Copies of this chain bind each other. A is one copy, B any other.
Amino acid sequence: MESDHYNDPVVIGGCSVPVRVSRKSKPGLTTVNVGGIPIGSETVAIIAGPCAVENPHQLLETAKYVKEYGAVILRGGAFKPRSSPYNFQGLGEEGVRMLREAGKATGLPIVTEVMDTRQVAFVAENADMLQVGSRNMHNYPLLKEVGLTRKPILLKRGMMATLEEFLLAAEYILNQGNEQVVLCERGIRTFEPTTRNTLDLSAVPMLKHLTHLPVIVDPSHGTGHRWMVPTMAKAAVAAGADGLIIEVHYRPEEALCDGYQSLSPDEFSLLMAGLRKVANAVGRQIYQPPEHV
Contact = CB atoms under 8 A, between A and B. Distances in A.
Interface residues of A, number: 76
A172, A202, A203, A235: which has the most chain B beta carbons within 10 Å? A202
Contact of A162 (B3, B191, B222, B281): B191
Contact of A117 (B18, B86, B116, B168): B116
A271 interface: no
Interface stretch (A22-30, A31-39, A46-54, A77-85): A77-85
A282 interface: yes
A125 interface: no
Contacts of A117: 116-118
A267 to B, nearest CB: 15
Interface string A141-172: 11010000000000000111011110010011
Interface in A1-49: 3, 6-7, 13-15, 18
Interface string A229-254: 00110111111100000000000000
A60 to B, nearest CB: 28
Contacts of A236: 235
A210 to B, nearest CB: 8
Interface stretch (A62-70, A97-105, A272-280): A272-280
Nearest to A145: B116
B115 A141 contact: yes
Interface string A126-143: 000000000110111110
A291 interface: no
Nearest to A87: B7
Contacts of A232: 201-202, 205, 239
A228 interface: yes
A160 B158 contact: yes
B135 A116 contact: no
Contact of A86 (B6, B165, B225): B6
A290 interface: no
B191 A198 contact: no
Nearest to A219: B202
Given A168-B83, A278-B278, A205 B228 contact: yes
Contacts of A165: 83
A99 to B, nearest CB: 19
A223 interface: yes
A165, A222, A234, A238: which has the most chain B beta carbons within 10 Å? A238
Nearest to A20: B85
8 contacts: A115-B141, A160-B160, A162-B194, A198-B202, A199-B200, A202-B228, A235-B238, A238-B239
